[in-house]
Amino acid sequence: MLHFNLRKIRKELRLTQNKLASRINYSQQAVAKWESGNSNPDMRNLIRLSNELKVTIDTLVREVPDAIDQKHCAVSIKRNLFHVVNNVSSHEELGVDLYSLDEADKLLLVDELFDCLVNSSVIARNTAE
């Protein structure tokens, strides 16, 4: 499962094989072999991958990945929210004049929207229990 998890996490982070290889000081060909399942990284490189991708080694090698780790899930959600904010057809949809916001303010808005989603999820979970 390492090959599947490694590829999925790398793509979630929008890293190319070349960029990941460069960051762990290894070759792109080695990363390609790891992702295809033709070879496996040694322990030193597994630790480097874990550190660079900011996941546990267990997340890399486990049979069933757990939504890639909450942090990466949050990053993906925030990226999608930012896309929504940038592509909303009219500012009335969000109740905010999006056209007057600079990038920093849009990022703050995304953080606020994300916090609302998290809080709603917690409330829903607590209500269900």
Q: List, for residues 22-70, the tens digit of each pLDDT value.
A: 999 999 999 999 999 898 888 888 899 999 999 888 888 876 545 455 6
Quick one: 16 and 54 in the same domain?
yes
What's the chain look like in SS3? CHHHHHHHHHHHCCCCHHHHHHHCCCCHHHHHHHHHCCCCCCHHHHHHHHHHHCCCHHHHHCCCCCCCCHHHHHHHHHHHHHHHHHHCCCHHHCCCCHHHCCHHHHHHHHHHHHHHHHHHHHHHHHHHC
Quick one: 96 and 51 in the same domain?
no
- Structurally, the chain folds into a number of domains equal to 2
Quick one: 40 and 90 in the same domain?
no
Quick one: 108 and 75 in the same domain?
yes
Q: What is the reported pTM?
A: 0.50
Domain enclosing residue 37, as ranges: 2-61
